[in-house]
Structure 1
Amino acid sequence: MSTTAYTEDNIRSLDWKEHIRMRPGMYIGKLGDGSSGDDGIYILLKEVLDNSIDEYVMGAGKTIEVSVQGTKVIVRDYGRGIPLGKVVDVVSKMNTGGKYDSRAFKKSVGLNGVGTKAVNALSDYFRVESTRDGQSVAAEFSQGELTNKEELSETSRRKGTKVTFIPDEAIFKNFKYRNEYIEKLLKNYVYLNPGLTILFNGEKFYSENGLKDLLAENINEDDRLYPIIHLKGDDIEVALTHSKTQYSEEYHSFVNGQHTTQGGTHQAAFREALVKTIREYFGKNYDASDVRKSVVSAISIKVIEPVFESQTKTKLGSTDMGGDLPTVRTYINDFVKTNLDNFLHKHPDVAEKIQKKIMQAEKERKELSGIRKLARDRAKKASLHNKKLRDCRIHLTDSKNDRCLESTLFITEGDSASGSITKSRDVNTQAVFSLRGKPLNSFGMSKKIVYENEEFNLLQAALNIEDDMDDLRYNNIVIATDADVDGMHIRLLLITFFLQFFPELIKEGHLYILQTPLFRVRNKKETFYCYSETEKREAIEKLTGKPEITRFKGLGEISPDEFKYFIGEDIRLDPVMLDKEMSIEELLTFYMGKNTPQRQGFIIENLKVELDLIEE
């Protein structure tokens, strides 16, 4: 038996940039191509922005300018500017930054001194320029290596910091910035920092009412059961209302300006405090799920030196507020109990609406309880031999695992397509749920149908979202159907199901359509997969001789050996997005109401779920 020698030569110390480039997931989560809001290219922008936001929080600079042109990103703030002698160190030496001095940055967002270093290491081009006291210094890097340093010079420019970067295409393959995701990120920054102005490619973002404005953006006025309740304290801000039509709970939670998309101790404490306060106000021991049903809310807290469960800071792990303050749970409980209770006493009309909503939720829950039990028993039996779900090993709930954000569920139709995906998938992060033909049209139906319909019930069980989004098992839910009329219809039926019962899956950016190639163009040496006529023409020009051209009619025609190219690192996804101008009810009525012949024609002509549900 031979063994590999293990000597001093096997031990390597990577320098800072090598380590970031070799293990980017540790620093910025998943890589992605920009089709998802948590892809690495947006985290790079966020890391740079966080420094500018911290300047604003410290009272320096009320405007931040952001420009994204193609692959080039520029962020300019009018804060104090990086101390001129430290410009190179701050962006290229690990554990170097102003935030270790907690006097200057007590409740800052980026506390580990890694952020801009990761952006520098993962950028093909990175330039930082600092101006203060009429002088400026600039430095340029490529993949973390210093390529040019401009010495101190006199300038009339306003003080502040300007960072320009172009993400490295060797790491972020075929990436494209989507304005919708950048706008959402910037809007959250202004909601959390009332008075701050952010200019993005010339468009102005500004908020006066903080989280109240955030909720107003997320729930139409005609869908609010009562006007938004807005409560503010020293280190806490809360906004909430109930939706008239939405089934599920919806939370937007933040810590020190960081959007904690996976919640954490503060979100759990808020949900608990809400139930406790309502029960005590009415003197009735209402079921927690009835109190929280249809609630749409936002909470932001500031914590001294917060502890997050992952480097990308999407879930708060801290149990203490820091300093002499109590635990997160006690602090939030006391604040909600005092302030929400006071509000309800002053506004008995709102309290009455909330009580009616709770009683309606209780009635619906009791009506569903019998069928729910039957459905659960059926799901348990089915899951023992559930041929619909071929699961993966890593899930979104494994928040300590670097790859949890890659967890994906493909929803396919028919055995041949699901077979191809199953054989070629990454078993660690990619699961497959196969439909049997067309799903039911759930338009206008009550939640009862989710339990009565075996397919929907099993899909709900696979996602683990029956009661709320906290335990969602997959970060990406990908509809993978053929690009023909039937495939289009199945997509619409599935989007209808999610819009009707789980709209926050779409609001939070979890739902996608898989793009698959329409053509394969190859000769004996090279093969190109083409997603459009233009790509086909370009491939024909690149190949010599007379290439063989194949038109794929359906997913089942693509062999598992080929499928791995379309769901691997070069996967192309179209995010399903809500149209800002239309309510969910209007969208559903347009797509799935009694269709006029014109509308059916529209659907058939647009074989990619278009109008404004999907934005290219």
Structure 2
Amino acid sequence: MAEEKKIEYTEDSIKSLDWKEHIRLRPGMYIGKLGDGSAQDDGIYVLVKEVIDNSIDEHMMGYGKTIDVKITDHRVEVRDYGRGIPLGKVVDCVSKINTGGKYDSGAFQKSVGLNGVGTKAVNALSDYFKVQSFRDGETKIAEFNKGELVQEEEVKKASGRNGTLIAFEPDASVFKNFHFRPSYLNDLIWNYVFLNAGLTINFNGEKFHSENGLKDLLERKTDTENIRYPIIHLKGEDIELALTHSNQYGEEYYSFVNGQYTTQGGTHLAALREALVKTVRDFYKKDFDATDVRASVVGAVAVRVQEPVFESQTKTKLGSHSVGPDGPTMRTFVNDFMKNQLDNYLHRNSEVADALLKRILQSERERKEIAGIKKLANDRAKKANLHNKKLRDCRQHYSDKKGDRVDETMIFITEGDSASGSITKSRDVQTQAVFSLRGKPLNCFNLTKKVVYENEEFNLLQHALNIEDGIENLRYKKIVIATDADVDGMHIRLLLLTFFLQFFPDLIKQGHVYILDTPLFRVRNKKETIYCYSDEERRAAISKLGSKAEITRFKGLGEISPDEFKGFIGEDIRLAPIHLTKDTTINQLLKFYMGKNTPERQNFIVDRLRVEKDIIEEGKEVA
């Protein structure tokens, strides 16, 4: 046996990376996951936030009421009208770790970005990065490439208003195939103005402004015609709250710390949920079940704290337990606020108090009605889980919170043995699970939650996802609907989306549900194979490989071999997120598509009909 070669451990083994090399080598430490822009928490949106956060901090300190933001597919430009970076420190502020103005808490109280890393990470992860400061009639410009300074201009005279301009283009070698999704950016910008009443953000030519803060946020996020009572809006020192109950299932919250959207909640949200139950029990002098009080609640809470401790650099979950170095715990702070403000509000508004009580009693009745069938169904599900042929699980789970790849976890919901077989054979068993449907699911529009337990398939799916008591313990980060791109496949997609929207709408609202995009065509010659996801890509492939190239039309997922499938669900997976816009209310959406046939829907279909023959002829003409 050959002797194993020993590696010398000397001074040469010790390496020091400079700041930009470290960020580029370990971007996850600074911006979370990378992604391509298909998920709301992908890295490119974190880059945008890091830059805008600095402008927001200036606004919070009383400098600048307007921010201009322009974002195209691959470029971001942010101009604020604050004080402007001191001209002698323009380069240092964006290229030296632990350099910034936020370590002096007198200059930046309760700001978002406290560690002086944000813009440096953006700089290091950008192909192009430009910073320009305008200050008292003078300006200074510096430009970088992947964190390396390429041009620094001398200070010169300028007529622009005081403030800072930052422009950058994310590095395409780091963020592969990325592009910004307008709907995600809209949500991001709206959140900024809701949390900073009076601020105006001009985003791509559109004006974003809010006068009523979190009340405006809830009005945008709910169907105001179907809420049970007018939105309760309460403000105190360093805390703001908006609250109502709707008719939907589940709980829905939007939580913020120092202007940062904490998508995973944290101590402030846990305190709110606990304080709501306690205050309501005390007010009505009844020991309601906590789930009945919180069922169908829609709420938003924003707190401002000194020196917040987040659980990661991307600041999606608050870990800090106190409001400041010498302040009360978050639990005490929120409890005291709710005890005084919400209790006072309910005493002053008897109609709201009556409506809230009716909603709680309704939830209590509904819970008791399904208690028997729920127990029976759960017993059945436990037995089925021992030999659950529908679920082929993966090894890591999003609910584990630990594990190096929990953010990559996903479950494919497929129809039929052939499709689920191909995915099962080609999946990554560490992070990808498969749930196989037996056929078309039930159309559950307008049915009560009882059907989730009565229908064996829905109940098993609910258990596989672990969402029976809410989505806090969701087992997979992404729920991917993987059906054929034909009429039956589209129908199954609609039926599954109806199930999620009807009973678990927060799964979609929090960006967990996707459609798997698989190729429609394979175009190949003896030298090259190109997979095409659209007719446009098919025509481009034919023109590249020649008219004699072999063209295969994939009619179903089962026709794609496991070896080929591996390439479509691996690193280059294409996912289309399901995202609700401001103008979409769940009830109207489901009623239109899944309710009884209406003339409106018939006209909608007829207006959009295209005959297959016409499509084929059109394709031939272009090819």
**1:97 is matched with which residue?**
100
Deviation at 1:548, TM superposition (A): 2.2
**1:171 is matched with which residue?**
174
1:280-310 deviation digits (Å, cap 9, x = unpaired):
0011100000000111000011111111112
Deviation at 1:602, TM superposition (A): 7.2
1:300-315 alignment to 2 at 5 Å? 300-315=302-317
Deviation at 1:600, TM superposition (A): 6.2
Change in 2 beyond 3 A, CA 1:40/1:5: same
**2:16 is matched with which residue?**
13
Q: Which moved more, 1:545-554 or 1:430-439?
A: 545-554
What is the CA–CA distance in structure 2 between the aligned matches of 1:418 and 1:35, rounded to whole Å? 24
**1:85 is matched with which residue?**
88
Deviation at 1:401, TM superposition (A): 5.0
**2:40 is matched with which residue?**
37
**333, 336, 346: which is aligned to 1:334?**
336
1:64-88 deviation digits (Å, cap 9, x = unpaired):
0000123111000011111111111
Deviation at 1:123, TM superposition (A): 0.8
2:173 pairs with 1:139: no
What is the CA–CA distance in structure 2 between the aligned matches of 1:339 and 1:123, rounded to whole Å? 46
**1:517 is matched with which residue?**
519
**2:366 is matched with which residue?**
364
**438, 441, 450: which is aligned to 1:439?**
441
Deviation at 1:483, TM superposition (A): 0.2
What is the CA–CA distance in structure 2 between the aligned matches of 1:419 and 1:100, rounded to whole Å? 56
Does the aligned pair in 2 maintain the 1:310–1:400 contact within 8 Å? no
1:73-222 alignment to 2 at 5 Å? 73-222=76-225
**1:591 is matched with which residue?**
593
Does the aligned pair in 1 maintain the 2:76–2:169 contact within 8 Å? yes
Does the aligned pair in 1 maintain the 2:307–2:325 contact within 8 Å? no
**1:490 is matched with which residue?**
492
What is the CA–CA distance in structure 1 between the aligned matches of 2:415 and 2:607, rounded to whole Å? 23
TM-score when scaled to structure 1? 0.95
1:160-185 deviation digits (Å, cap 9, x = unpaired):
11001111111112211111110100
What is the CA–CA distance in structure 2 between the aligned matches of 1:102 and 1:311, rounded to whole Å? 20
Structure 1: any 5+ residue segments left out of the alignment? 608-616
Does the aligned pair in 2 maintain the 1:29–1:402 contact within 8 Å? no
2:84 pairs with 1:65: no
Deviation at 1:573, TM superposition (A): 1.6
Query: What secondary structure, in the 3-state scheme, does the structure 1 residue paired with 2:343 have?
Result: helix
What is the CA–CA distance in structure 2 between the aligned matches of 1:97 and 1:577, rounded to whole Å? 37
**549, 561, 576: which is aligned to 1:574?**
576
**525, 528, 539: which is aligned to 1:526?**
528
Does the aligned pair in 2 maintain the 1:26–1:402 contact within 8 Å? no
TM-score when scaled to structure 2? 0.94
What is the CA–CA distance in structure 1 between the aligned matches of 2:188 and 2:467, rounded to whole Å? 25
Query: What secondary structure, in the 3-state scheme, does the structure 2 residue paired with 1:223 have?
Result: coil
Change in 2 beyond 3 A, CA 1:393/1:20: farther
Deviation at 1:26, TM superposition (A): 2.0
What is the CA–CA distance in structure 1 between the aligned matches of 2:88 and 2:394, rounded to whole Å? 50
Change in 2 beyond 3 A, CA 1:94/1:355: same
What is the CA–CA distance in structure 2 between the aligned matches of 1:562 and 1:320, rounded to whole Å? 52
Change in 2 beyond 3 A, CA 1:150/1:177: same
What is the CA–CA distance in structure 2 between the aligned matches of 1:456 and 1:603, rounded to whole Å? 32
The one-letter amino acid of 1:109's match is: V
The one-letter amino acid of 1:352's match is: D
What is the CA–CA distance in structure 2 between the aligned matches of 1:183 and 1:58, rounded to whole Å? 24
Query: What secondary structure, in the 3-state scheme, does the structure 2 residue paired with 1:76 have?
Result: strand
Does the aligned pair in 1 maintain the 2:478–2:513 contact within 8 Å? yes
Q: Which moved more, 1:8-17 or 1:547-556?
A: 8-17
Deviation at 1:2, TM superposition (A): 1.8
1:331-371 deviation digits (Å, cap 9, x = unpaired):
00010011000001111111111111111111111111111
2:552 pairs with 1:550: yes
Does the aligned pair in 2 maintain the 1:263–1:470 contact within 8 Å? no
Does the aligned pair in 2 maintain the 1:33–1:175 contact within 8 Å? yes
What is the CA–CA distance in structure 2 between the aligned matches of 1:309 and 1:519, rounded to whole Å? 44
**263, 270, 287: which is aligned to 2:272?**
270
Query: What secondary structure, in the 3-state scheme, does the structure 2 residue paired with 1:117 have?
Result: helix
**44, 47, 51: which is aligned to 1:48?**
51
What is the CA–CA distance in structure 2 between the aligned matches of 1:605 and 1:268, rounded to whole Å? 51
Deviation at 1:477, TM superposition (A): 1.4
Does the aligned pair in 1 maintain the 2:412–2:432 contact within 8 Å? yes
Query: What secondary structure, in the 3-state scheme, does the structure 1 residue paired with 2:153 have?
Result: strand
Deviation at 1:387, TM superposition (A): 2.1
Deviation at 1:467, TM superposition (A): 2.0
Query: What secondary structure, in the 3-state scheme, does the structure 1 residue paired with 2:481 have?
Result: strand
What is the CA–CA distance in structure 1 between the aligned matches of 2:587 and 2:611, rounded to whole Å? 21
What is the CA–CA distance in structure 2 between the aligned matches of 1:603 and 1:590, rounded to whole Å? 16
What is the CA–CA distance in structure 2 between the aligned matches of 1:303 and 1:598, rounded to whole Å? 54
What is the CA–CA distance in structure 2 between the aligned matches of 1:457 and 1:182, rounded to whole Å? 35
What is the CA–CA distance in structure 1 between the aligned matches of 2:225 and 2:19, rounded to whole Å? 53
**441, 464, 467: which is aligned to 1:465?**
467
What is the CA–CA distance in structure 2 between the aligned matches of 1:540 and 1:392, rounded to whole Å? 39
**234, 237, 248: which is aligned to 2:250?**
248
Does the aligned pair in 2 maintain the 1:211–1:239 contact within 8 Å? yes
1:76-104 deviation digits (Å, cap 9, x = unpaired):
00111111111111111112211122222
What is the CA–CA distance in structure 1 between the aligned matches of 2:610 and 2:452, rounded to whole Å? 30
Deviation at 1:6, TM superposition (A): 4.4
What is the CA–CA distance in structure 2 between the aligned matches of 1:424 and 1:19, rounded to whole Å? 34
Q: Which moved more, 1:401-410 or 1:463-472?
A: 401-410
Deviation at 1:423, TM superposition (A): 2.4
1:5-41 deviation digits (Å, cap 9, x = unpaired):
1423444332221222222222212222212211111
Does the aligned pair in 1 maintain the 2:140–2:153 contact within 8 Å? yes
What is the CA–CA distance in structure 2 between the aligned matches of 1:602 and 1:373, rounded to whole Å? 47
Change in 2 beyond 3 A, CA 1:545/1:448: closer
Structure 2: any 5+ residue segments left out of the alignment? 613-623
**1:614 is matched with which residue?**
none
The one-letter amino acid of 1:576's match is: I
Change in 2 beyond 3 A, CA 1:232/1:349: same
Does the aligned pair in 1 maintain the 2:221–2:582 contact within 8 Å? no
**387, 390, 397: which is aligned to 2:389?**
387
The one-letter amino acid of 2:134's match is: T
| Percentage of matched positions with identical amino acids | 69
1:289-308 alignment to 2 at 5 Å? 289-308=291-310
Does the aligned pair in 2 maintain the 1:407–1:474 contact within 8 Å? yes
Query: What secondary structure, in the 3-state scheme, does the structure 2 residue paired with 1:175 have?
Result: coil
